[in-house]
Amino acid sequence: MTVTIVGSQLGDEGKGGVVDLWGDAADVVARYQGGDNAGHTVVEGGTEYKLSLVPSGAVRGKVGVLGNGCVVNPATLFEEIDDLRDRGLDPDVRVARRAHVIFPYHRVLDGIEEEAKSDSDSEVGTTGRGIGPTYEDKAGRRGVRVGDLLDPDVLREKLEYVVPQKQRLAEEVFGVETGEEFDIASLYEEYRRYGERLAEEDMAVDAGEFLADRLADGENVMFEGAQGTLIDIDHGNYPYVTSSNPTAGGAATGTGLSPGVVGGGEVVGIVKAYLTRVGSGPLPTELGGVVGDTPGYDEQGEGENEELATYIREEGGEYGTVTGRPRRVGWLDVPMLRHAARANGFTGIAVNHIDVLAGLDEVKVGHSYDLDGEEVFTIPATTERWAACEPNYRTFEGWEDTDWGRVAEEGYDAVPENARAYLEYVSEEVDADVYAVGVGPDREESVVVENPFE
Ligand code: GDP
Ligand code: IMO
Ligand code: MG
């Protein structure tokens, strides 16, 4: 069977930890979109792994697949694999031949576009990993795919077509001087070698075929979504989004398995008990922004409750896994979760970070919004309309800090009563059962209510 793990908010909900939590029952863990913009954390017995491209199942020794929907920077992939090997793991990663390749010029163009947008305060706040420009080339039918790295003649031909275009774009449209990132000969040499390593280590696969064969053999496959529903290119708050589909449908298109396979399994929404966001865009329930990080949305609560935001940021260690940027913090946004539940079809949810909120007198949620004098329960389609939403808050009594390790051991009934009331409210609003509760970063600090593989 399959279990799909999807971020229900704006990324960093603790997806990596949940993949690891249930990963024991999985044989294969596949990523279906995104690239090294992701930063997934697994903590096992105090040892922390931060994974960008290698699927989080690697910590438990599971086979990892980067599906066709991913964009792969081979430099960071091999660096991560080597690093994990140095740390005593033995990652077995297969990469779809259909996945697109991130080149150094994509990263440069990512930075150039952000810089250009910053003149009008409209930058997205990307991770700078070249994600957008690579998906642009994919859609523009000029991308280089993993399969092309294995065929030097094809690689050279494609680079000869695309690189001069990119160079002119940088120089003539944006007026930026280019360097070796646009040098065909050196790109060819470097990427040809990556192709050789992919071949030597037998890493290139037809992802759909590979996964279908494993499922036919009765194995369990987990799909590890990167990012989250609200930064999905279609269902997120465009243009403050990433360039792929983290939502559950992406697990089908991004692996080469059918929607029936994905929908026939479980789809688990990962929910952070509050809200964080790195990068720009509105955030109606924001507690306090990071000054300068909300272009165009300065009125969106920045500074309103900075002290509380800072408290939660420090308690939760809310700094970007990839870029180290401080994350913006807000109360749970329930219209956002209803939107995510519909777009993904959650069969269950995992709610993380309830330990971080412990000790507060009260915990609020944005239950609905006021928009033009009307009460609305889900997210409007345009970012401008979303920015105009005023949350209607509900207040829950806070819960005490406690020995969370003991809670994890004893199970759901040991979760403080007020936290259970909060969890049950969320579960009802998204119409999905709580499968797990995160009470700390470590694998052992999770309350498992139900294992979706069982
Ligand atoms: P991902 O991108 O969704 O995999 O999430 P990240 O790894 O970027 O960010 C989640 C952070 O919260 C990581 O540092 C995790 O170790 C940590 N974390 C995950 N679940 C919990 C939890 O229940 N409580 C606490 N305190 N930390 C958690
Ligand atoms: P994980 O998988 C949080 C955000 C960036 C930016 C926007 C576009 O760890 O949850 P991009 O570099 O993708 O073009 O940036 O998306 N973003 C993430 N935010 N977690 C992530 O991944 C993210 N990946 C991208 O901050 O706002
Ligand atoms: Mg992350």
Distance 392 CA to ligand 2 centre (A): 27
% the chain with pLDDT above 70: 96
Distance 359 CA to ligand 2 centre (A): 30
User: In this structure, which residue's CA is closest to atom 28 in ligand 1?
Assistant: 441
Confidence of residue 270 (pLDDT cuts 50, 70, 90): very high
Q: Is the CB of 269 under 6 A from ligand 1?
A: no
Q: Which ligand is nearest the CA of 441, by number?
A: 1
Distance 242 CA to ligand 2 centre (A): 6
Among 123, 127, 245, name the best residue to mutate to test ligand 2's pocket (greatest count of ligand atoms within 8 A of Cβ): 127
Q: Give catalytic status of residue 40 as yes or no.
A: yes
Which is the catalytic residue, given 36, 40, 137, 353? 40
Ligand 3 being an ion, which residues bring their Cβ within 5 A of it?
12, 39, 321
Distance 381 CA to ligand 1 centre (A): 28
Residue pair 116/72 in contact by the 8 Å Cβ criterion: no
Q: What is the mean pLDDT of residues 154-174?
A: 98
pLDDT at 306: 81
Q: Is the CB of 328 under 6 A from ligand 1?
A: no
**42, 108, 247, 310 from 28: Cα distances, Å:** 17, 34, 20, 38
The Cα 386–Cα 10 span in angstroms is 14
pLDDT at 304: 56
Q: Give catalytic status of residue 293 as yes or no.
A: no
Closest atom, ligand 1, to C-alpha of 41:
7
Q: Which ligand is nearest the CA of 17, by number?
A: 1
pLDDT at 305: 83
Distance 50 CA to ligand 3 centre (A): 9
Distance 321 CA to ligand 3 centre (A): 6
Q: Is the CB of 41 under 6 A from ligand 1?
A: yes
Q: Which ligand is nearest the CA of 351, by number?
A: 1
- The alpha carbon of residue 3 and the mean position of all alpha carbons in its chain are separated, in whole angstroms, by 16
| DSSP collapsed to 3 states, the chain | CEEEEEECCCCCCCHHHHHHHHHHHCCEEEECCECCCCCEEEEECCEEEEECCCCHHHHHCCEEEECCCEEECHHHHHHHHHHHHHCCCCCCEEEECCCEECCHHHHHHHHHHHHHHHCCCCCCCCCCCCHHHHHHHHHCCCCCEHHHHCCHHHHHHHHHHHHHHHHHHHHHHCCCCCCHHHCHHHHHHHHHHHHHHHHHCCCEECHHHHHHHHHHCCCCEEEECCCCHHHCCCCCCCCCCCCCCCCCHHHHHCCCCCHHHHHHCEEEEEEECCEEECCCCCCCCEEECCCCCCCCCCCCCCCCCHHHHHHHHHHCCCECCCCCCECEEECEEHHHHHHHHHHHCCCEEEEECHHHHCCCCEEEEEEEEEECCEEECCCCCCHHHHHCCEEEEEEEECCCCCCHHHHHHHCHHHCCHHHHHHHHHHHHHHCCEEEEEECCCECCCEEECCCCCC
pLDDT digits (tens, 9 = 90+) for 237-250: 999 999 999 999 99
Segment 260-265 long-range contacts (CB within 8 Å, at least 24 positions apart):
261/2, 261/215, 262/2, 262/4, 262/223, 263/345, 264/1, 264/2, 265/1, 265/2, 265/3, 265/4, 265/452
pLDDT digits (tens, 9 = 90+) for 79-114: 999 999 999 999 999 999 999 999 999 999 999 999
Structure tokens at 323: 């870029």
pLDDT digits (tens, 9 = 90+) for 301-343: 444 588 899 899 999 999 987 888 889 999 999 999 999 999 9
User: In this structure, which residue's CA is closest to atom 2 in ligand 1?
Assistant: 12
pLDDT at 292: 41
The Cα 436–Cα 426 span in angstroms is 13
Say if residue 12's pLDDT is above 60. Answer: yes
Ligand 2, pocket residues at CB < 6 Å: 7, 11-12, 37-40, 124-127, 129, 131-132, 226-228, 231, 240, 242-243, 278-279, 321
pLDDT at 362: 95
% the chain with pLDDT above 90: 92
Lowest mean pLDDT among 36-50, 224-238, 318-332, 422-436: 318-332
Q: Which ligand is nearest the CA of 14, by number?
A: 1
| pLDDT, the chain, mean | 95
Q: Using N-to-C axis directions, what is the helix angle for 152-168 and 184-200, rounded to 10°?
A: 140
pLDDT digits (tens, 9 = 90+) for 424-437: 999 999 999 999 99
pLDDT at 59: 98
pLDDT at 294: 43
pLDDT digits (tens, 9 = 90+) for 363-419: 999 999 999 999 999 999 999 999 999 999 999 999 999 999 999 999 999 999 999
Say if residue 184's pLDDT is above 60. Answer: yes
Among 278, 294, 327, 329, name the best residue to mutate to test ligand 2's pocket (greatest count of ligand atoms within 8 A of Cβ): 278
pLDDT at 321: 79
